[in-house]
Structure 1
Amino acid sequence: MYLGPPPRSSLLLMLLCSLPALADDLFLDGQPLPQVLTATRLKQSAAAVPGSMTVIDSELIKASGARDISELLRLVPGMMVGYTTGNQASVNYHGTSASDARRMQVLIDGRSVYRAGLATVDWSDIPVAMEDIERIEVFRGPNTVSYGANALMAVVNILTRSPANSQGSRMKVTRGERGINDFYASQGVGWETGDLRLSLSGQQDDGFDSNAVGADRRDGRRLNRFSLAVSQTLNAQQSLDWQLNVKEGTNQRPYTYTPIFDGITEGSNNSDVTAKDYAGSLRWNFDFNPDHSLYIQGSAQQWDRRQIWKACDAKVSFSPQLTQLWQLNPNYAERLARNMEAYSQGSAPPGSAAEQALANQVLDQWKHQGGKDPVCGDIDQSTRESRYDLELQDTLSLSDSLRLLSGFNYRYDRADSDTYFNGTLDDTTWRLFGQLEWRASEHWLLQGGAMYEDTHLSGHSLTPRVAVNYLINPRHGLRAVYSEAVRSPDMFENNVNWSYRVTNLSSPAYGQDSGQYFVVTRGPGNLDKELMRSRELGYNGFFADLGLNVDVKLFYDEITDMISSPLRNNQYIASNANSSHFTGAESQLDWRVSNADRLRLTYAYVDASSSNPLDKAQTARNSGSAGWLREWGQGWSSAVFYYGDDALNQYRFQRVDLRVAKRIAVARTNVELAGVLQQRLDNQPTTWADNNYDHRHVLYFSAELDF
């Protein structure tokens, strides 16, 4: 295993020298504890959480030099970060398919950005700037109990800075190799009863340099974002928070269409996507008293993806008889189409009488009716997805030892696509959820929760979670957790009606200027939910005298009724026939050695087994990270991070990132100049053979002004 162990000898020596301090720290509680929110929706200390948490705070976000949220998640043990192209990250907790990321819920301030129509999270298109993020809380494990289906394996909650903490003006520019060209500007203002933050930001880069055969890799991106956040106090008990986010940009796509029929080589050189996202939310907070609070939140989102590209194929692609043959027997029709020239020299391939009769008509079109002539036209693969969400949550302390959280959620999803759904498809979801926390004694904490969910397209489910935490003291806890979670089949998997209509044909095909491609795929419509059962044993401890936080986790997770790839137009296999198991251990250590130094280590060992080999393609058996943050004085600071895994989709990944920064104070203005160097230590592609850089390093610089 290439991933070297942490410096255990030096760490052990320092711990042994500090045994008296450790003993005192274990049984004394002298300071407030940091709290997290994402695990149960209740504010809890890390030792009391019914599961494993990772918090990436603002200091880590800045020190990492990361330009994307997906890159930050390399700091989370067990998180597998890969790329399908330079502008499309594929992020999975513990793995599954390398090309799809369907089993993790992603939230911005509690609002889901998981797209239900095509079951994806557009990491590079998330409409929030890195500079606006306060912290990222990651619940490492299933959490359907708190967030519903799709929180199958983990939850990533991106929490933005409050407008009250964003006062003043801030500007930042970043330039560097690989076409990196980013900017950020924000203005925060406050008044007697409220605060506002307005920010504008943009990103641009060229993506990967070359594909597996050395040709240019067309996967650059350009995007601009607008964000407005307002907090308004109504009275001593009530407040309003509302947000508005807009994003527009272009993601390049390599042209990957391969004509079915031999000899057809013409076509477009790109299939780029123009993306526009809109999101708005309004939240009313009501604090009845210190023991009782309630909020109501409504949100609306829309994702527009415009993608029109030109394709060329043989005229026979639009043959009504070939379409009938596909509907009768797709495998027979594809075999005929792939070998048309060979079969045209003789007779149709063996099959039923109906199959052979249709095949002979298609062969006659091929030979005598210009069926092999190339025809080109436009394909509109655009999609639009919309979501409307309403949620009510009530939090009540019934006594000093008993807390109850309850609520309901209503969500409406709609997907519009002529290619994928032959029009419009919609879905409605109702949820009821609850979480009960009982402090049975000074040391024992019992927690239980459940989510009932009913989805129009895939039925209902009830998922529970039970946990026992033994608190040695409020800063140190042992936990045992059992939870169940589900993932609803998305619209694409279950209800796809996939076909390509080609318009503006270069020459008429069977008397028409547009035509329907003969391959038509429909989803089964009766897929069941995936089910996950998870068992976890863990420890979380905060040694205040040392500034040391430690979390260790042992886990055994199993997913049944699993829906696996491939889900391609000419090979669509969607069923609940597969399963996967994940067994292993994770650890994370965050140590503030002094006021100047901070060390951070993570490691994950994941042993995956799957009935479908594709479902463990993005599972690295060994992965981890190491970081050292240092304040040198006189405004100088540095951070160095190592990221590594032994195999994602069979390709190793090792990289070291170095950031050096200088802060300068001029009157009331603060200036920070920083440089980031990322150096790959291996010589392999990133996740896929087509993802290659000409140089194994990249260098970029930033200048930030705060006044």
Structure 2
Amino acid sequence: MAINPRASLPLSLLALLATGEVLGDDLFDNHHAMPEVLTATRLKQAPAAVPGSVTVLDSALIKASGARDIPELLRLVPGMMVGYRNGNQATANYHGSNVTEARRLQVLIDGRSVYRPGLASVDWTDIPVAIEDIERIEVFRGPNTVSYGANALMGVINILTRHPLDSRGTRLKTTQGQRGIHDWYASHGSAWQDGALRLSLSGLQDSGFDHDQFGRDYRDSRRLNRFNLSASQQLDSRHSLAWQLAAKEGSNQRPYGYASVFDEQIAPGDDGSDVKARDYAGSLRWTLDFSPEHSLYLQSSAQHWERKQVWRACEAEVAFSPELGELWDLNPFYVVKFGDYLTQLKNNPTNAVLPPGTAREQALATAVRAQLFGGGAAPVCGDVNQSMRETRYDFEVQDTLSLSDDLRLLSGLGYRYDHADSETYFNGALSNHIWRLFGHLEWQLGAHWLVQGGAMLEDDRLSGSSLTPRIAVNYLITPRHGLRAVYSEAVRSPDMYENNVDWRYRVRNLQPQAFGQSSATYFARSRGPGDLDQEIMRSRELGYNGSFADVGISLDIKLFYDEIHGMISEPLRNDRFFPSNANSMRFSGAETQIDWQLSHADRLRLSYAYLDFSASSHLDRRLSARHSGSAGWLRDWGQGWSSALFYYGADQLNQYRFERLDLRVAKRITIGSAALELAGVMQQRLDDEPLTWQENNYDERQLLYFSAELEF
């Protein structure tokens, strides 16, 4: 990284504060509109008054980035670690840790959580919203269980779509490029006296990474289509309705990763392990404004996720032995030692000795050995089913009341029902009920001091109850400049997968039959412990947020010290499923972000994060970069020409450096009442390393794609 962590923050401040005349004029400026953010406390607040750090990615920045999906946008967020498990499975974690599925982040679309209930992950590829429909993304960088519940342990990403009233007219867009890029988007919006509606259809397709670490083709392409319908209706001066419907269907390739446990010479199965995905969502919000000082809303949503994954695999017949399955249930560690014994028996039979154990363990092991050498090593092939269906119903009521000019109270109640159905992961179905009671109080003490406190009481039927508080003190130098000190606690409840899994593979259509059966259960089976405790985080933050409106500069600085205890860090594999609360992690460091509108034509945006961390598990240290950041220059050249240049860098993600330059050049052409924009994006990797994991490799370090968008 070219950024010097010791110089960047002081130099940034000196550059802003050196001119006392500019600072003095700006501190008392009241001529510019005050920006507001919503995600931090659910209250509309000026950035200087927020009890924490918020990054806002506005529509101009989103468009200029040329990003095709949400994880690439998150590279602009200080401290956000963006990587890839493969070409269609992006990972995004604030400050890192081992959980690559973002189990410690809450992700919302217009207030609706898209955090999957069963496997407790966020499928970034499968989120049913197009980049073109996003108005802004607010990222609260830090624990926010207080406002959004137990998944918001390390942060909240709130994706806010364009209001239907701002979407009138028709937009058509196509994007084509290297690596199989073929995207499209079409929308139409209309409005009437008291309402508006937008319908959008979109699709995304690419071929993923080119090859793995051995130079072989990598099966990780993606293809998806999306449907979105958004409407708003003002019923009268006090009542309004807003509702959305969304759907997504597509398929994600998965590399065939299964290898025979008993004989590496057994031929692999087919490549049909791809995931066919369908998602459906609907939400309705009713808002009642009693007065300018008092409002109430009720929001309900329903979501359904379907993942169909069935493929054919081959294994030695003995893998379906009832005796081996019983031995595994009795003592999986003995089976591991028994496997070592079988290897030794094959390579050096003279010295091979059956592992010591109980009489029952040794009797079962002897029976399995006889089966193996009595023909049980012969291959059998069958259909593996790893499909899952997940459903969520969510209801929430929230009341916002100004008790006086200096005192605001937000309170709310929520209920959520989660249901997961999978023969493989849960041996049937599992459900959960979650109740939430939350509140936030904002108290203005005089002209400069702002004291805020909040708490969330949450009752989870599977994990128990929790109470998480937050208290913050903001010193407002002016309404645009504030210092903050924040202490907060947060929890993450163990999800269904970690705590309640009943993971077993029933393989069907076995040919030839295994032990006389055409359907049998694989020997390795895993059960969740059922008694995992919640992960607990304690966070301390000092910061500054300022808006120098006259010179177009917005600045945020954050110093932090976070501790997480009771972490669940173990790799959760079917043959090694031993989750525990035995791990902990500590983060400390500094982050800054600067947005500078130099003139009507030029805008600079810089972000940087320095992270010092330690973890009891080496797995938690892999996906945290000590230095990371971004730099962007947006330029309007006039006569319809514009450009944007971005740099992204991280010194280490899973021991691999990442540096990339992105250039977008666009030309806007007016055609009567319509407008056509032609744009090209070039991404140039500055490093020559795999992306996050050793399997993720491209043939070329450069990527080109082009788009044409027509508005009328």
Normalising to structure 1: TM-score of the pair? 0.98
1:686 maps to a residue whose letter is L
1:404 aligns with 2:436: no
Q: How does 1:134-533 map to 2 (within 5 A)?
A: 134-262=135-263, 263-337=265-339, 339-340=341-342, 342-343=344-345, 345=349, 348-368=354-374, 370-533=375-538
Structure 2 CA distance for aligned equivalents of residues 172 and 81 of structure 1: 27
Structure 2 CA distance for aligned equivalents of residues 452 and 594 of structure 1: 47
1:90 deviation in Å?
0.8
1:258 deviation in Å?
1.4
Provide Cα deviations, 1:137-194, integer angstroms capped at 9, x if missing partner.
0000000000000100000000000000000000000000000000000000111121
Structure 1 CA distance for aligned equivalents of residues 45 and 293 of structure 2: 15
- Which shows bigger deviation, 94-103 or 338-347? 338-347
1:482 deviation in Å?
0.2
Going from structure 1 to structure 2, the CA distance change for 1:14 and 1:578 (only over 3 Å counts) comes to closer
1:11 deviation in Å?
6.7
Aligned Cα root-mean-square deviation (Å) = 1.5
- Residues 242 and 285, structure 2, Cα contact 8 Å, conserved in 1: yes
2:294 maps to a residue whose letter is H
Provide Cα deviations, 1:645-671, integer angstroms capped at 9, x if missing partner.
000011000000000000000100000
Structure 2 CA distance for aligned equivalents of residues 472 and 167 of structure 1: 41
Structure 2 CA distance for aligned equivalents of residues 561 and 25 of structure 1: 47
Going from structure 1 to structure 2, the CA distance change for 1:540 and 1:8 (only over 3 Å counts) comes to closer
Provide Cα deviations, 1:65-101, integer angstroms capped at 9, x if missing partner.
0001000000000000010001001100001016332
1:593 maps to a residue whose letter is L
- Residues 9 and 592, structure 2, Cα contact 8 Å, conserved in 1: no
Aligned partner of 2:31 in structure 1 is: 30
- Residues 40 and 146, structure 1, Cα contact 8 Å, conserved in 2: yes
Structure 2 CA distance for aligned equivalents of residues 353 and 446 of structure 1: 67
Provide Cα deviations, 1:244-275, integer angstroms capped at 9, x if missing partner.
00000000000111110123223122410000
Unpaired runs of at least 5, structure 1: none
Structure 2 CA distance for aligned equivalents of residues 565 and 16 of structure 1: 48
Q: Secondary structure at the match of 2:338?
A: helix
Structure 2 CA distance for aligned equivalents of residues 23 and 466 of structure 1: 31
Structure 2 CA distance for aligned equivalents of residues 335 and 683 of structure 1: 41
Match of 1:665 among 649, 665, 670: 670
Aligned partner of 2:702 in structure 1 is: 697
Structure 1 CA distance for aligned equivalents of residues 182 and 341 of structure 2: 48
1:540 aligns with 2:545: yes
Structure 2 CA distance for aligned equivalents of residues 11 and 48 of structure 1: 21
Structure 2 CA distance for aligned equivalents of residues 8 and 70 of structure 1: 26
Provide Cα deviations, 1:260-302, integer angstroms capped at 9, x if missing partner.
0123223122410000000000110100110000000110000
1:15 deviation in Å?
4.2
1:58 maps to a residue whose letter is S
Q: How does 1:94-105 map to 2 (within 5 A)?
A: 94-97=95-98, 99-105=100-106
Unpaired runs of at least 5, structure 2: none
Going from structure 1 to structure 2, the CA distance change for 1:168 and 1:338 (only over 3 Å counts) comes to farther
Q: Secondary structure at the match of 2:524?
A: strand
Structure 1 CA distance for aligned equivalents of residues 235 and 596 of structure 2: 41
Structure 2 CA distance for aligned equivalents of residues 685 and 339 of structure 1: 37
Structure 1 CA distance for aligned equivalents of residues 165 and 554 of structure 2: 29
Q: Secondary structure at the match of 2:504?
A: strand
Q: Secondary structure at the match of 2:511?
A: coil
1:535 deviation in Å?
0.2
Structure 1 CA distance for aligned equivalents of residues 58 and 363 of structure 2: 67
- Which shows bigger deviation, 218-227 or 28-37? 28-37
Q: Secondary structure at the match of 1:425?
A: strand
- Which shows bigger deviation, 343-352 or 563-572? 343-352
Structure 2 CA distance for aligned equivalents of residues 306 and 502 of structure 1: 15
1:609 aligns with 2:626: no
1:343 deviation in Å?
3.4
Structure 1 CA distance for aligned equivalents of residues 10 and 584 of structure 2: 41
- Which shows bigger deviation, 257-266 or 481-490? 257-266
2:446 maps to a residue whose letter is S
- Residues 82 and 98, structure 1, Cα contact 8 Å, conserved in 2: no
Structure 2 CA distance for aligned equivalents of residues 577 and 638 of structure 1: 50
- Residues 3 and 646, structure 1, Cα contact 8 Å, conserved in 2: no
- Residues 646 and 653, structure 1, Cα contact 8 Å, conserved in 2: yes
- Residues 84 and 688, structure 1, Cα contact 8 Å, conserved in 2: yes
- Residues 347 and 360, structure 1, Cα contact 8 Å, conserved in 2: no
Structure 2 CA distance for aligned equivalents of residues 532 and 500 of structure 1: 35
Q: Secondary structure at the match of 2:402?
A: strand
Structure 2 CA distance for aligned equivalents of residues 595 and 268 of structure 1: 57
- Residues 27 and 472, structure 1, Cα contact 8 Å, conserved in 2: no
1:280 maps to a residue whose letter is G
1:635 aligns with 2:640: yes
Q: Secondary structure at the match of 2:494?
A: coil
Q: How many residues align?
A: 706
Going from structure 1 to structure 2, the CA distance change for 1:4 and 1:468 (only over 3 Å counts) comes to closer
Going from structure 1 to structure 2, the CA distance change for 1:630 and 1:9 (only over 3 Å counts) comes to farther
Aligned partner of 2:127 in structure 1 is: 126
Structure 2 CA distance for aligned equivalents of residues 184 and 260 of structure 1: 46
Structure 2 CA distance for aligned equivalents of residues 339 and 635 of structure 1: 72
- Residues 118 and 420, structure 2, Cα contact 8 Å, conserved in 1: yes
Q: Secondary structure at the match of 1:322?
A: helix
1:338 deviation in Å?
5.4
Provide Cα deviations, 1:86-132, integer angstroms capped at 9, x if missing partner.
10011000010163321000000000000121010001111000000
- Residues 272 and 310, structure 2, Cα contact 8 Å, conserved in 1: no
Structure 2 CA distance for aligned equivalents of residues 672 and 173 of structure 1: 11
- Residues 592 and 607, structure 2, Cα contact 8 Å, conserved in 1: yes
Structure 2 CA distance for aligned equivalents of residues 7 and 531 of structure 1: 32
Structure 1 CA distance for aligned equivalents of residues 538 and 14 of structure 2: 39
Structure 2 CA distance for aligned equivalents of residues 37 and 110 of structure 1: 11
Going from structure 1 to structure 2, the CA distance change for 1:7 and 1:529 (only over 3 Å counts) comes to closer
Q: Secondary structure at the match of 1:605?
A: strand
1:7 deviation in Å?
8.2
- Which shows bigger deviation, 357-366 or 161-170? 357-366
2:607 maps to a residue whose letter is T
Structure 1 CA distance for aligned equivalents of residues 668 and 8 of structure 2: 31
Provide Cα deviations, 1:307-366, integer angstroms capped at 9, x if missing partner.
001111100111111111111111211332455364375663332221111111111111
Structure 2 CA distance for aligned equivalents of residues 366 and 489 of structure 1: 39
Structure 2 CA distance for aligned equivalents of residues 198 and 133 of structure 1: 14
Aligned partner of 2:89 in structure 1 is: 88
Q: Secondary structure at the match of 1:598?
A: strand
Normalising to structure 2: TM-score of the pair? 0.97
Q: Secondary structure at the match of 1:126?
A: coil
Structure 1 CA distance for aligned equivalents of residues 551 and 448 of structure 2: 23
